[in-house]
Chain A
Amino acid sequence: MASQPICEREASGTWLVGDELQLDEVHLRLHTAIAQERGLAARLRALPTQGRVSIAVVAVALTVVMPRLLGHFDPGPSRWTAPAAAPALVYAAILIALLWSSLWPLQRTRSRFVDVALVGAGLLAPFGLVDFAPGGACGLLGHLGYCFFIGTAVGWTLVLLLRALDRGGHQDRASAWLSVGVASLATNLALQFDCPETSAPHRFACHATIGVALGLQYLAFIRWREWRNVKRSPG
């Protein structure tokens, strides 16, 4: 009985010493990690959240609007007419919510439910665009009939930009899925303003499926990365 308080003190002392050693080690590793925070991606991540979101908004807006602007230089007839305001606002609101959530700072709590709902909206909303705007612009890209492939490539460019702007790193799957949702909706809106093919089957098959394809490709990518890590493990 008499030895118990001593044991407790010893145990307590050991824990404290161990803790301090652990903290020293973390401190050293932290300085190494901070020293490695170099390059463009590190600079982008270090920007204030408003700055990161602004860059993303500009990039997405340019992606969506650029085909329409380029349409002015096309000598052919334009069949484009302005889309109805109400659905346009709904899509814009979904896009902004997706963008903001994909760059959500880690010092704020986030709702998993909202994230899942937004990703679902980003992947499914393009199917609603089948009946959205009456016609494309000049079809600089759409003339080629490569809507799906070009849209997917543009989508991945947006995903990569958003991942570079995100501070969460590779472990933050929620942000990555939100980036896929942004890319899905943004590329569909861009194609809406560009592709001269206005038939519902074309929009359904070649436009709306881009988001699903991006999602499946991202899923395949993370599965491949996990498989690679398992296979690369020696022995």
Chain B
Amino acid sequence: MTPHTDDELMTAYVAGDSGAFNEIFRRHAPTLLRALKPGVGGNEASDLLQQTFLHLHRSRADFARGAALRPWLFTIAINVKRQHLRALARRREALVGDALENVAAPPPRTARDELEGIAALLAELPPAQRKVIELHFIDELSFARVAEAVGASLVAVRVRAHRGYAFLRQRFAEKVGPE
């Protein structure tokens, strides 16, 4: 059996064949995931991968027959990652400010240091809590949407968020306070 080309698969997907989308995911997701991981970590990379393919779904009508799918997907992935890092940099101030309301001004840190610091703290959370906080705080989803996304009840999601945020506040205070 001759394997389908990306072009054929996208054409089939635009025509409504969801199986073609699954094949595109199977074919390109591993490479994209590896490309997304540097600088953001595994769990965030999987979220970015999901957003990349969601954008592919939304943009499917733009795909021109004969165009190369791989550069298309990679450009979407790069833009999604860039937006995510900018959002993370913006949230950084809110998160740090909330935890350090009564603490003297911290020593100057580079944006990269702080991004890495936040990523490291998020990585310390149990996966279930981390997922909820990423979706709620970084992606700004409501708790109801987060519950749908992670397949848990609203109460369970709120409990995970409560524990996760409490942990992050405590760790931020510990980490920045003594300096």
Contacts and interface: CB of A to CB of B under 8 A. Distances in A.
B174 interface: no
A105 B84 CA distance: 17
Contacts of B148: 32, 36
Given A22-B46, A110-B79, A234 B54 contact: no
Interface string A24-60: 0111011011101100000001111101000000000
B75 interface: yes
B50 interface: yes
A11 to B, nearest CB: 15
Interface stretch (A119-127, A138-146, A213-221, A224-232): A224-232
Contact of A45 (B53, B58, B75, B95): B58
Interface residues of A, number: 40
Given A49-B62, A168-B83, A33 B54 contact: yes
B60 A46 contact: yes
Contacts of B50: 26, 29-30, 33
Given A226-B90, A229-B136, A32 B149 contact: yes
A170 interface: yes
A19 B22 CA distance: 17
Contacts, number: 109
A199 B78 CA distance: 49
Interface string B36-51: 0000001000100110
Interface of A: 18-19, 22-23, 25-27, 29-30, 32-34, 36-37, 45-49, 51, 105-110, 167-168, 170-173, 225-227, 229-230, 233-235
15 contacts: A23-B30, A23-B49, A26-B50, A26-B53, A33-B50, A34-B54, A47-B61, A105-B62, A106-B55, A168-B83, A171-B83, A172-B83, A229-B140, A233-B165, A234-B158
